[in-house]
């Protein structure tokens, strides 16, 4: 399918007549990170997963400006309009997929289109940046160091030449696969991590290079969420500080917050529990079921 000048690759599972769930992956993954979750949801939902621009089978536009949150919103709309036209969808995001999702679920254009939003290891971008600012203003050295320890990778991804050093020198040659297996304890196969991991890492770095400096310079507080939000926080996340979620309830007053034991890649590490929580939350907030019960 097309979104402006970008070609987006997507897969589906389940009966198109069932409630629709759209899965959005993070960095540096592809839609294949969701495979075990899709398998578990397909009997009850019509499940859609797509490669975000610059990842996997989707095309990679040139330049950081093409990876803005506004462009990503256009991609999400194109996926919904093509594969679930005229229907509300249950949005699920992991990592940068969750960051995107916070933007979508608070944007007026998607009101009524998103029935529920589940974010896994995905804080709102502005909330994460505000937490960092607060620690600096308070001169809280312990908090600042703790965040820096988890978020060390952001600086090289934003700096000129940094993504190339990371992905062509540090993480190439199967080292990323070994990290996921030996450190994160994830199951890997011929599809995950994707054979395109190095290219995905290089292209996807534009998510950081565009959106983090832009949001630092131009703060844009989120509007209230127009759909119910479920927040899933991995207790052993090596990359995201728990404080990045502190402001979530201010945007989503009826927030359902859950902690899951284990690593950042919960959809891959614990697909049974993740699929169960997605299914429960989506079923509780399905507009068709609510209408039938009324």
Residue 48 resides in a domain: yes
- For the stretch 128-175, pLDDT in tens is 888 655 544 544 545 545 555 567 778 888 888 999 999 998 898 889
Q: CATH number of the domain that 79 lies in?
A: 3.40.50.1820
Q: How far is it, in rounded angstroms, from Cα 57 to Cα 166?
A: 22
| Tokens (6 digits) for 80 | 């919904």
Report which of residues 133 and 178 the model is more confident about: 178
Spatial contact of 93 and 75, defined as CB atoms under 8 Å apart:
no
Number of domains in the chain: 1
Residue 176, H or E segment:
helix 175-182
Residue 10 resides in a domain: yes
Q: How confident is the model at residue 112 (pLDDT cuts 50, 70, 90)?
A: very high
Residue 200 resides in a domain: yes
Residue 292 resides in a domain: no
Residue 106 Cα distances to 127, 201, 252, angstroms: 13, 28, 9
**Confidence (pLDDT) at 147:** 53
**Confidence (pLDDT) at 219:** 76
Residue 255 resides in a domain: yes
Q: How far is it, in rounded angstroms, from Cα 119 to Cα 117?
A: 6
Residue 63 resides in a domain: yes
**Residues contacting residue 47 through CB under 8 Å, at least 6 positions apart:** 12, 13, 14, 20, 21, 23, 38, 41
Name the pTM for this structure: 0.93
- Please state, as a whole number, how many other Cβ atoms lie within 10 Å of the Cβ of residue 218: 7
**Confidence (pLDDT) at 293:** 42
Domain coverage including residue 238: 2-286
Q: How far is it, in rounded angstroms, from Cα 101 to Cα 251?
A: 13
Task: Please give the backbone phi and psi of residue 105, each rounded to the nearest 5 degrees, phi first.
Answer: -75, -5
Spatial contact of 53 and 21, defined as CB atoms under 8 Å apart:
no
- For the stretch 57-109, pLDDT in tens is 999 999 999 999 999 999 999 999 999 999 999 999 999 999 999 999 999 99
Spatial contact of 232 and 280, defined as CB atoms under 8 Å apart:
no
Q: What is the mean pLDDT of residues 280-293?
A: 76
**Confidence (pLDDT) at 220:** 76
Residue 79 resides in a domain: yes
| Tokens (6 digits) for 62 | 């040139």
Residue 244 resides in a domain: yes
Q: What is the mean pLDDT of residues 214-219?
A: 80
**Confidence (pLDDT) at 217:** 79
Mean residue pLDDT across the chain: 91
Report which of residues 123 and 153 the model is more confident about: 123
232, pLDDT greater than 70:
yes
Report which of residues 85 and 253 the model is more confident about: 85
């Amino acid at each position: 399918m097309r979104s402006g000048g970008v070609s987006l690759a997507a897969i589906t599972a389940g009966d198109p007549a069932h409630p629709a769930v759209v899965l959005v992956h993070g960095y540096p993954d592809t839609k294949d990170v969701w495979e075990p979750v899709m398998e578990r949801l397909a009997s009850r939902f019509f499940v859609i997963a797509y490669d975000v621009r610059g990842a996997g089978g989707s095309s990679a536009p040139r330049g950081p400006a093409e990876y803005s949150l506004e462009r990503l919103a256009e991609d999400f709309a194109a996926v919904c309009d093509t594969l679930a036209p005229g229907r509300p969808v249950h949005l699920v995001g992991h990592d940068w997929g969750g960051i995107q999702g916070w933007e979508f679920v608070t944007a007026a254009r998607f009101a009524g289109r998103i029935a529920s939003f589940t974010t896994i290891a995905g804080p709102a971008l502005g909330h994460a940046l505000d937490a960092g600012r607060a620690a600096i203003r308070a001169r809280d050295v312990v908090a600042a160091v703790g965040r820096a320890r988890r978020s060390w990778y952001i600086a090289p991804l934003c700096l000129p030449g940094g993504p190339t050093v990371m992905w062509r020198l540090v993480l190439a040659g199967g080292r990323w696969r070994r990290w996921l297996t030996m450190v994160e304890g994830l199951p890997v196969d011929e599809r995950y991590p994707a054979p395109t991991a190095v290219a995905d890492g290089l292209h996807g770095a534009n998510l950081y290079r565009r959106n983090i400096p832009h949001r630092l310079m131009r703060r844009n507080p989120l509007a209230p969420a127009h759909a119910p939000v479920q927040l899933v926080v991995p207790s052993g996340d090596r990359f995201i500080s728990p404080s990045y979620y502190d402001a979530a309830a201010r945007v989503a007053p009826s927030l359902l917050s859950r902690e899951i034991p284990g690593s950042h890649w919960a959809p891959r590490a614990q697909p049974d529990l993740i699929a169960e929580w997605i299914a429960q939350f989506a079923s509780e907030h399905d507009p068709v079921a609510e209408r039938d019960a009324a």
